[in-house]
Copies of this chain bind each other. A is one copy, B any other.
Amino acid sequence: MPELRKDPVVERWVIIATERARRPMDFAPEVIQSRGAEGCPFCPGHEDRTPPEVYRSGGSEDGPWTVRVVPNKFPALHGDGGEVHAAGEGIYDRIDGVGVHEVVIESPDHFAGLGTLPVAHVGEVLVAYRERLIALRKDPRLEYVLIFKNHGVQAGASLEHPHSQLISTPILPELISEELEGALRYFRMKERCVWCDIVRQERRNRSRLVLEDESFVAIAPYASRFPYETWVLPTAHRSSFESLLPDEVDALARLLRELVARLGRLFADPPYNFALHTAPLRDTDPEHFHWHLELMPKLTRLAGFELGTGFFINPTPPEDAARFLRLAEAGAGATPA
């Protein structure tokens, strides 16, 4: 059973994935995987190499599919443990690592990507996210679902086939708690959602605006941690991703696809991570929370300073990043005015 352990000083939780316990010889020097679909467990025809699917989009039960969601074969957390037990060990605290870890296989095409798939197909991926959020809310042991993507070896992807992941946790993750607390503080002071104010200021100011339509914006956040970090937010106040309406799916798919395509043009398919910050499962419509997707290209490395202080050094001002991303429509490497 995996464990969640809490640091007694800063109260930071860590998942100790005891079942993947690794001896020194298991950390082999990094090998770049051979590219290609051969032997890929996510390619069509290999459906029996994954655990049985929990969601499928497109086609009949045994026919062709467009998006599949399957349990992770090597889950960081899993749901077999029944109730969540807490235990102590002197000054330390831990709880059972109950949870869910799933893989969203985004396309049958081994070489597809969110920047190249048709808009409607990207929309099907977004609908898969929404449906899994709605389904997992039913398990009362779970407090949060984080949907995220690791693209490229440098961003932590261990398989090349396009996929995102979902980990559901029995506690609220620290960053989400901090966002909820900070946003509540702001709401109590101003009676407004802080992200609504961010969207308003960025649309007016425009220097950090990357893309916009009626329903969504992509911005380079004012205090970007990473070069070319970009956040996607709904322009209207929406706490949870589950509230996404059918015609918004299409708009969001179009914007996300364009954003990933522009990063691809600027950096030749860069490694990146994204994480969807949505309201907690037990309070899906707080008036002070506003869902957003944080996309973080992996162009630099976190090092001792970041790990030691928790604050980040970003060599690219977000205003520059936004300008290059706006110009990327015209082709890579264009010099901004």
Copies assembled: 2
With A6-B223, A183-B9 known as contacts, the answer to whether A308 contacts B15 (CB < 8 A) is no
Within 8 A of B (CB), among A108-140: none
Looking at A43-51, A166-174, A241-249, A279-287, the stretch in contact with chain B turns out to be A166-174
Chain A positions 181 through 213: 1 when the CB is less than 8 Å from some CB of chain B, otherwise 0 = 011001000000011011001000100000000
Q: Which of B21, B301, B303 contacts A316 (CB 8 A)?
A: B21
B156:A8 contact, CB within 8 angstroms = no
What residue in chain B is nearest A295 (Cβ atoms)? Answer: B304
Q: How far is the CB of A273 from chain B (nearest CB, A)?
A: 4
Which residues in B have their C-beta under 8 angstroms from that of A25?
333
Residues on B with C-beta less than 8 A from A150 are: 303-304
A10: chain B residues at CB < 8 Å are 175, 178-179, 182
B205, B270, B275: the one contacting A307 at CB < 8 Å is B275
Q: Is there a chain B Cβ closer than 8 Å to A216's Cβ?
A: no
Interface membership of A59, Cβ < 8 A: no
Is the CB of A79 closer than 8 A to any CB of chain B? no
A308–B333 contact, CB under 8 A?
no
In the complex, what's the smallest C-beta–C-beta distance from A144 to chain B, in angstroms? 8
Label chain A's interface by main secondary structure: mixed
Cβ of A234 to closest chain B Cβ, rounded Å:
16
From A154, A201, A311, name the one whose CB has the most chain B CB atoms within 10 angstroms.
Answer: A311
Q: How far is the CA of A275 from the CA of B324 in the complex (A)?
A: 34
| A40 is an interface residue with CB less than 8 A from chain B | no
Q: Show the binding face of A for B, using Cβ within 8 Å.
A: 5-18, 20-25, 27, 30, 76, 89-92, 144, 146, 148-150, 154-157, 165, 167, 169, 173-176, 178-179, 182-183, 186, 194-195, 197-198, 201, 205, 221-225, 227, 266-267, 270, 273-277, 294, 296, 299-305, 307-318, 320, 324, 332-333
Closest 6 CB pairs of A and B: A275-B308, A156-B303, A148-B304, A173-B309, A175-B310, A273-B304
